[in-house]
Amino acid sequence: MPNTRFPRLSPATLVQARPGVILPGYDRQKLRVGIVHLGLGAFVRAHQLIYTDEALAQDFGPWGYAGVSLQRPDQRDRLAPQDGLYTALQQDGSGLRARIVGALKATLVAPENPQAVVGVMAERDTRIVSLTVTEKGYCHDPATGRLDETHPDIRHDLENPGAPRTAIGLMVAAMERRRAAGLGPFTALCCDNLPHNGRLVSALVRDFAALRDDGLAAWIEAHGAFPSTMVDRIVPATTDADIDAAAEATGLHDAGPVTHEPFRQWVIEDVFVDGARPRWELAGAQIVSDVAPYEHMKLRLLNGSHSALAYLGYLAGRETIVDAVSDPALRAFVAALWREEIIPVVPAPAGVDLRGYADDLLARFSNPAIRHRTWQIAMDGSQKLPQRILSTIRDRLAQGLPIPRLALTVAAWIRFVGGVDEAGRPIDVRDPLAARLRDALDAAGADPAARVQAVLRQKAVFGTDLPQSQPFMRAVTDAYARLLAHGARSAAQAAA
């Protein structure tokens, strides 16, 4: 329910914001939409939109956002009555800092009117379409990086080009309309945690377009731009307490605030159609020729350890990441995981000390104000593990190196997707392959080795190479047996 102690956040009530609240530093009435963002979740509003807000205050241009929800109307229903305004709360142990962000000018819900979404992406003023749709939103095979032509939503979009459901289908429909209108393509800017994400999205768009029209696919490939990016900021799910905190901090009731840690990073490959983009570097973004070393570092060290802490922490009864790293056994485990298994096979970006980077990650994970739930991070593991954990495993196996801690992480995921925790309570498993994985485990019966083999044979996650690797199969099987015998905390403590 709205907090009736405070007026609702809106353009008219901005002047009532409390002193110290950071307000948009430009005239929002003059701001035109130039960026369409697919996936209007908390992360983009706590990261990319803040960078843009700060850049607009220093170098104003036509870079307002139309935000698109691809599934539910919740965000639109919260933000539209506020004309897209929302509060971003920076939290650490010393308190919070409030900013009201103004770069979001319109909100749409794709399932309600997909043609409206295609239409705004096809507008002449739209120069960039950015994405945070999570790994599963790309409808690809995580093991190969190719478009999953059998995915039901991809099949739907191919059969119903006037009503696409997926981000890929929507983008290709808009590209087709732009081409017919004599306009150039937009830049597609992926901001999800996927390796070589620009290259990946380019291939998925090309594959989908080719299934519709070879000429369209060739036109996109010749004239489009798909920069790779690396994004980093911890953004937990918003709670009722956060809504109350935002109201107290600003003096205005906001139905859709976001919270985030102080740290942020955005590394962007400098490849845009006609060079058209906001000057994000004014807000601290790094514009580079090669993102790969940064994304490699972040996926392996931050995202890999986040997943390890999520599965082991959840199984050990730790609700949040800060709870997990406050446990000496799990804290020692993740430090050893970085030191012994991840850092030795990750090339450092120029000027970066990976041990110092890991120390900084541990400090960020320990922020008591950021209560990032282990269950939330554990979602969609079948899509996340190939990039976050399995790539490191492959590198170590290729060098004949042991993988005890990485194998324990995979084993913890297998136990998690089994749907029952160490106390016998059901786990709410959210994963595109949840039913398939559960069926495989059920068919394997109670034998631990058979259960591990049933999951590791899933090619969509592990490819064809890892199930053929005896060191890998043996390490995960042994780790799973230790989890069953001793529990997640003791198994992690023994591996630290």
Q: For the segment 393-404, what is each residue's pLDDT rounded down to a tens digit?
A: 999 999 999 999
For residue 4, being part of any structural domain is answered with: no
Q: What number is the average pLDDT over the span 262-266?
A: 97
String of DSSP letters for 410-455 = HHHHHHHHTTB-TTS-B-----TTHHHHHHHHHHHTT-HHHHHHHH
Please say which residue of 289, 306, 341 terminates a domain: 289
CB contact at 8 A, 86 and 100: yes
Q: Which residues pair with 69 in a beta bridge?
A: 109
Using DSSP, state whether 458 is helix, strand or coil: coil
Using N-to-C axis directions, what is the helix angle for 404-417 and 304-315, rounded to 10°? 60
pLDDT given at position 144:
84
Q: What is the CATH number of the domain that holds 173?
A: 3.40.50.720
Q: What is the DSSP letter of 14?
A: G
Count the neighbouring beta carbons within 10 Å of the beta carbon of residue 400. 7
Structure-block tokens of residue 19: 């002193």
Of 82-96, 248-262, 298-312, the one with minimum mean pLDDT is 82-96
For residue 180, being part of any structural domain is answered with: yes
For residue 5, being part of any structural domain is answered with: no
Could you read off the pLDDT of 466-493 as tens digits, one per residue? 999 999 999 999 999 999 999 999 999 9
For residue 8, being part of any structural domain is answered with: no
Using N-to-C axis directions, what is the helix angle for 304-315 and 328-336, rounded to 10°? 150
Neighbouring residues of 1: CB distance < 8 A, sequence distance ≥ 6 = none
Shared domain for 63 and 195, answered yes or no, is: yes
Q: Residue 423 to residues 75, 317, 465: CA-CA distances in angstroms? A: 36, 9, 34
Q: What number is the average pLDDT over the span 41-51?
A: 98
Structure-block tokens of residue 83: 């004309």
For residue 312, being part of any structural domain is answered with: yes
pLDDT at residue 142 above 90? no
Name the pTM for this structure: 0.90
Shared domain for 322 and 381, answered yes or no, is: yes
Shared domain for 432 and 477, answered yes or no, is: yes
Shared domain for 450 and 325, answered yes or no, is: yes
String of DSSP letters for 57-78 = HHS--S-EEEEEESS-SHHHHH
Shared domain for 274 and 419, answered yes or no, is: no
Please say which residue of 263, 289, 315 terminates a domain: 289
pLDDT at residue 25 above 70? yes
Average pLDDT, the chain: 96
283-297 in b/e form (b: 16+ CB < 10 A) is bebbebeebbbbbbb
Shared domain for 248 and 366, answered yes or no, is: no
Percent of the chain predicted with pLDDT > 70: 99
**One-letter identity of residue 152:** P
For residue 472, being part of any structural domain is answered with: yes
Q: What is the CATH number of the domain that holds 488?
A: 1.10.1040.10
pLDDT at residue 1 above 70? no
What's the pLDDT band for 405 if we cut at 50, 70, 90? Answer: very high
Shared domain for 349 and 276, answered yes or no, is: no
Structure-block tokens of residue 50: 């803040």
pLDDT given at position 143:
81
Shared domain for 409 and 482, answered yes or no, is: yes
Percent of the chain predicted with pLDDT > 90: 96
* Domain residue limits at 72: 14-289
pLDDT given at position 95:
83
Can you tell me the distance from the alpha carbon of 415 to that of 422, in angstroms, rounded to the nearest whole number?
9
